[in-house]
């Protein structure tokens, strides 16, 4: 009896996906558990496996098509046994007598086909987006090198390979364009410029990138978003890290960064100003008395925000370890839906990319996001004297529908106070 391959449950609030890459071709034999097709969702990529053994008889939805939960992807039928296949063939048909030279040609074709099969045998792990880009530009994935620890070829690997190929192709072209010895160089008309190629490229956005774009526009259209700024003196925190970093890493196996201090400081401020840890539902405010802090992490296919569950119950070491693991998983494309779901407040550290100041955009339905920035030495007045101190700008974007300006300013001041006196975090949390 045929077995249908359908789009499975995709996770909370996710109802659509895009067919990424079929791992099996129509007519291939499959075993129970074999991965048949990859699906791209707005948050993570999912693999759909075979629930029964047989033959992939039909592929109903092609790569790049949008599908919904329950849609038919393909059909698996029972694989005929060798005996049944022979019986179905009936009496043996007389074989055609080979023409002179035909046998040798067939043997050569068979050898070539076998060689091609041997070359195609090793299967490399490739993300759906990387595979699509490679196919669009005719890139041989067997030639692409990857820096991914798991050996998976990602979008950046394909793009890097294409850039290197373009540079190599351009080098001989430039050499060929030089005039031969003894020949005068071509003269340009005054005021004119040499013609140059005007290249354009059309690349389909991944479902994740489409979702990011939609949610950012949604945040702008639905929330009364406003941003307030302050600056924090990082002297005490940097000195504390310098004193404890070696012992901390030796004991916990992870470096003591600044993120854990800002997570703890944000929680301390959220307890005093709970409306920044809420969301709007119709005409009601939903105040949340738990602290699931989202930490924005850059990935090759777009920004993702994994969540520290019950961050108020986590130690500094647990927070730093979790953030390091989030970054690794984001790079490898291994984040799960559970790790990305929910969140009551978000931190976004643009300083790691060199950003001095920015206005972060809310992550709906949250009503607050704290932006961290580059630490930079600046001249500041300290007790009547000018000193050089490591300073950081902070930016708090908030939903003015339920958060008043005074609350937002006081929240940011409280974060500043806690970070400038990091030892106080041990007593306030």
For the chain, what are the domain ranges? 129-169, 225-428
User: Which pLDDT value is given to residue 171?
Assistant: 57
> CA 392, CA 373: separation in Å to the nearest integer?
6
Could you read off the pLDDT of 148-198 as tens digits, one per residue? 666 778 777 887 788 787 766 655 544 455 555 555 655 656 655 666 777
Catalytic residues, by residue number, are 400, 404
Asked whether the whole model's pTM tops 0.75, one would answer no
Contact 365, 285 (CB under 8 A): no
Three-state secondary structure call for residue 186: coil
Q: Do domains 129-169 and 225-428 have the same CATH topology?
A: no
Residues of the chain with pLDDT under 70: 11-13, 42-43, 81-124, 128-129, 147-150, 167-195, 300-301, 427-429
User: HSE on the CB side for 88, CA within 13 Å?
Assistant: 6
The domain made up of 129-169 is a member of CATH 3.30.70? no
CB neighbours of residue 67 within 10 Å? 19
| Residues near 153 by beta carbon (within 8 Å), at least 6 away in sequence | 124, 125, 126, 127, 130, 141, 144, 146
pLDDT for 107 equals 47
How is domain 225-428 classified at the CATH fold level?
Chloramphenicol Acetyltransferase (3.30.559)
pLDDT in tens, 309-333: 999 999 999 999 999 999 998 888 7
């Amino acid at each position: 009896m045929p077995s249908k391959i359908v789009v499975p449950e995709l996770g909370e609030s996710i109802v659509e996906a895009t067919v990424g890459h079929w791992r099996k071709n129509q007519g291939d034999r499959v075993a129970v558990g074999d991965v048949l097709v990859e699906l791209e969702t707005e948050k993570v990529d999912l693999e759909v496996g075979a629930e029964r053994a047989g033959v992939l008889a039909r592929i109903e939805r092609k790569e790049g098509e949008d599908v919904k939960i329950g849609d038919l992807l393909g059909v698996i039928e029972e694989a005929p046994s060798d005996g049944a296949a022979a019986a179905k063939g009936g009496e043996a048909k007389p074989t055609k007598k080979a023409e002179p030279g035909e046998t040798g040609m067939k043997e050569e074709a068979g050898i070539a086909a076998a060689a091609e099969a041997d070359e195609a045998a090793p299967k490399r792990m490739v993300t759906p987006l990387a595979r699509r880009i490679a196919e669009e530009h005719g890139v041989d994935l067997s030639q692409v090198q990857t820096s991914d620890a798991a050996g998976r070829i990602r979008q950046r690997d394909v793009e890097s390979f294409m850039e290197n190929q373009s540079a190599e192709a351009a080098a001989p072209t430039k050499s060929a364009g030089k005039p031969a010895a003894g020949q005068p160089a071509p003269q340009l008309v005054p005021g004119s410029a040499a013609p140059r190629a005007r290249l354009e490229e059309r690349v389909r956005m991944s479902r994740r990138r489409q979702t990011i774009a939609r949610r950012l526009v949604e945040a702008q259209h639905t929330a009364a978003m406003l941003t307030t700024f302050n600056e924090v003196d990082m002297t005490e925190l940097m000195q504390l890290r310098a004193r404890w970093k070696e012992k901390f890493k030796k004991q916990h196996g992870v470096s003591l960064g600044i993120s854990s201090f800002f997570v703890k400081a944000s929680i301390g401020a959220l307890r005093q100003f709970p409306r920044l840890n809420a969301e709007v539902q119709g005409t009601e405010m939903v105040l949340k008395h738990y602290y699931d802090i989202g930490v924005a992490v850059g990935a090759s296919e777009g920004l993702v925000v994994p969540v520290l569950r019950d961050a108020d119950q986590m130690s500094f070491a647990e927070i730093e370890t979790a953030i390091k693991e989030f970054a690794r998983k984001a790079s490898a494309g291994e984040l799960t839906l559970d790790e990305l779901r929910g969140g009551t407040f978000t931190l976004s550290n643009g300083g790691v990319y060199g950003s001095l100041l920015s206005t972060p955009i809310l992550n709906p339905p949250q009503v607050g996001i704290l932006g961290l920035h580059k630490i930079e030495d600046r001249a500041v007045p300290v007790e009547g004297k000018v000193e050089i101190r490591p300073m950081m700008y902070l930016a708090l974007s908030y939903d003015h529908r339920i958060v008043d300006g005074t609350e937002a300013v006081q929240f940011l001041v409280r974060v500043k106070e806690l970070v400038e006196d990091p030892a106080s975090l041990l007593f306030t949390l």
